Amino acid sequence: MQLKQIMSSPVFTVRSGETLFAAASLMLDKGIGGLPVMSEQGQLLGLITKSDFVAREKSFPFSRDRAPQLLGHWLKAGAEAIYEMAKNEPVTTVMRKNPIYMAEDDLVKTFLEKIISIGITHAPILRDGELVGIVAQKDLLKIVTGAVRS
């Protein structure tokens, strides 16, 4: 089975100048977990997913010590203050640059292998460098339910 049979299309996206607040609002409004970040010229620059909005433990520079970081900021200021800053913070500060992307003719098996080996949850689908879809882990449920495109 090919990814074009389960991918979501058209794709909701954000431009590189959009804020984290705008991206989070769009994800909530549309019930989606990831957004490709596009340049003004329509090129894929990165990917932002709901996991980018969750605190993760990171190492301090030049140290073995670790502490939680949220949206690229150390949590010493408090989560509320950091989320307040997100209203003006561009998506480019936390997006994953050069995201793993796939082609619509790639096999679902290849996406599954990338989920396991790399840990991705979303993959933009490109055709000749143009964004034509996105596949997410939840799209695998289409196979189980029979909601597959022919």
Residue 127 near residue 5 (C-beta atoms within 8 A): no
Q: What's the mean per-residue pLDDT of the chain?
A: 87
129 in a structural domain: yes
**91 within some domain:** yes
Question: Has residue 82 been placed in a domain?
Answer: yes
Q: pLDDT tens digit string along 51-105?
A: 887 655 555 556 555 555 566 655 565 566 666 777 888 999 889 999 999 999 9
Asked whether residue 16 is domain-assigned, the answer is yes
pLDDT in tens, 73-83: 555 655 666 66
What is the domain extent for residue 71? 3-145
Q: Where are the beta strands (DSSP E) in the chain?
A: 14-15, 34-38, 44-49, 56-59, 66-70, 73-74, 96-97, 102-103, 122-127, 130-136
What pLDDT was estimated at residue 137?
Answer: 93
Count of domains forming the chain: 1
Is the pLDDT at 25 greater than 60, yes or no? yes
Q: What is the pLDDT, as a whole number, of residue 68?
A: 56
Q: What is the pLDDT of residue 93?
A: 87
Q: What is the CATH number of the domain that holds 40?
A: 3.10.580.10
Note the pLDDT of residue 108: 97
Q: Please answer whether residues 134 and 47 qualify as being in contact, where contact means their C-beta atoms are separated by less than 8 angstroms.
A: no
* Residue 70 belongs to a domain: yes
Distance CA 60, CA 67 (A): 7
